[in-house]
Amino acid sequence: MAYSCTDFVDDILNDMVRRSWIEPEQYGPEDTQAQCDAVLGAIGDADVSLRLAADAKQFHAELIDAFETLTRIAEKHGASALEMSSTSSR
């Protein structure tokens, strides 16, 4: 039997549920619009998270480039500057 469009959609939905990216309650088994909305919403959320992670990585790289080491940052701005950045990223 050929792999159908329904099989494809079911595999995508099941994988996204397994990863906790969507909840089964967001859509019905025959409600393709709700299925699409759930998947596109999860993709949008992931896009925002990836952009924030990329921004944080860029900030960290620029910070280290400017000060060379975390020790120099602490020397210039105090150890609390490092503590705040580590707790805010959690």
Give the model's pLDDT for residue 18. 96
Q: What integer pLDDT is reported at residue 8 of this predicted model?
A: 93
pLDDT along the chain (90 residues), means of 10: 91 95 92 95 90 87 76 78 55
Say which DSSP state 78 is in. -
Sequence spans of domains, the chain: 5-88
Q: What is residue 84's predicted lDDT score, i.e. its pLDDT?
A: 52
Which residue is associated with the tokens 């280290």?
Answer: 64
Q: What is the chain's percent helix, strand, coil content, to nearest 5?
A: 80, 0, 20
The CA distances from residue 50 to 18, 23, 43, 57, 67, in Å, are 20, 21, 10, 10, 26
Q: At what angle do helices 70-77 and 32-67 cross, to 10 degrees?
A: 80
